Structure 1
Amino acid sequence: MKRNLCISTAVSVVLMAGGPVAVAAAATADTARTLVPAVAVQADVTAEGAAAAAVKHYPGVVESLDKDGDVWHVDVISKDGKGHAELEVSASGTVTEQNRDTDENAAENKALVAAKVTAEDAMKAALAAHPGQVWSVSWDDDEDGDAHTWDVEVRSPDGKTWNAQVDHATGKVTQSGSADGDGNDEDGDN
């Protein structure tokens, strides 16, 4: 009985110490090669992710967002309309504050802060109309201050750029058109 107990204990110790080593030794070179590139891949933050990261850093309403290389430039207006932050969001989602003002004219930002449709909502509406990736979104008032829309640029998988205007109250895509890769619309007049 003691002999069986000693043998069982010895086998258990060998398996516990040697098991992970045996498994690691059994891994093929192909497995090791496929794991290295997966670790090296860096996530690229989408427009939606950049907006969420910016608002988490500086609570408020996204006024504009655009991609420049691997960096998103995001302008956020505070919920009371008096504050403004210029932020950069890296491909990994890190937020860097470039500038912050606390003396904005709240009356100028009243329509943006009160808009039923946020920049995030406008991006969703534009993507529903034109699948792809949002490249920019910005709040737009006409000169008399009555009409407010979101201008959203979407790049489709085939490389075409779509410019959509999204109504600030309904979220409806009210106007859209395609542009070529140079930023000019199809008839070339930008």
Structure 2
Amino acid sequence: MKRIIIASVAAAALVGGGTAVAVAGTQSSSPATQSSAPAAASTGASLTQAADAALKAVPGTLDSIDRDHGRWEADVLGKDGTWHEVTLDANGKVIDQRVDPDDNDPEDAAEAKALRNADVSATEAARKASSSTVTSVEFDGDRTPVWEVETVKNHKERDLNVDAHSGKVTQAPADDDHGDDDSGDDD
């Protein structure tokens, strides 16, 4: 915990243009305070580490992963064909896993088929799309299957699409407040 506080104070001081002096006491060796992440303890698990942990908890194919409010939320299509929601803490430890009861309609079957046929995985899409921090990757198999990747660099968000077959990275179309792909056109 001391390492997180020290890193946070130092980062805040440097961002603010000042300097920081920190004195660290002895480090606790309890498993709860040690991080297996190779990066600084304040950053927690990377998207790849969180994805690996989610897939270890539920073997299958990662459909989406998103960092929100200090936690990772992942959707996994299990090898048995059921959809699972996996919640991980900031360090990538699974804190909840359950079958998603809402994902059982025919549209989800089409999504599952497109996801299974993708040549590029979620973590590969994240690597292809970013030289900055990836905060979200989500599969979209509605038309041309793509991975929607959200990145952040210097506090600026950028949305990219990665073709699920070729791996080609393109800028995502600007969001339109007048329409939403999830609005459910009932024709």
TM-score of the superposed pair, with normalisation by structure 1 = 0.64
**Cα offset, 1:34, TM superposition:** 3.2
Task: Tell me: CA distance 1:36–1:61, structure 2 relative to 1, closer, same or farther (3 Å).
Answer: same
Instruction: Determine if the alignment matches structure 1 residue 136 to structure 2 residue 132.
Output: no
How many residue pairs align between the two structures? Answer: 143
* Matching residue within 119, 122, 140 for 1:119: 122
Per-residue displacement from partner, 1:81-111 (whole Å, max 9, x unpaired)?
x211101111122112342159846742111
| More moved, 54-63 vs 168-177 | 168-177
**Cα offset, 1:113, TM superposition:** 1.3
Per-residue displacement from partner, 1:142-184 (whole Å, max 9, x unpaired)?
3xxx41111000001x11111000000011103347x8xxxx7
* Matching residue within 149, 153, 157 for 1:152: 149
Per-residue displacement from partner, 1:116-152 (whole Å, max 9, x unpaired)?
101011101111xxx211111111123xxx4111100
Question: Does the 8 Å contact 2:139/2:147 carry over to 1?
Answer: yes
* Structure 2 counterpart of 1:163: 159
| Alpha-carbon distance in structure 1 between the residues aligned to 2:28 and 2:125 | 33
* Structure 2 counterpart of 1:110: 113
Structure having the higher Rg: 1
Question: Does the 8 Å contact 2:115/2:141 carry over to 1?
Answer: no
Aligned-partner SS, 1:120: helix
Unpaired segments ≥5 residues, structure 2: 1-22, 34-40, 181-187
- The residue correspondences of 1:10-21 to structure 2 (distance < 5 A) are none
Task: Tell me: CA distance 1:159–1:38, structure 2 relative to 1, closer, same or farther (3 Å).
Answer: farther
Amino acid at match of 1:89: L
Structure (1 or 2) with the greater helix fraction:
1
Unpaired segments ≥5 residues, structure 1: 1-32
Question: Does the 8 Å contact 1:62/1:75 carry over to 2?
Answer: yes
* Structure 1 counterpart of 2:73: 73
* Structure 2 counterpart of 1:34: 24
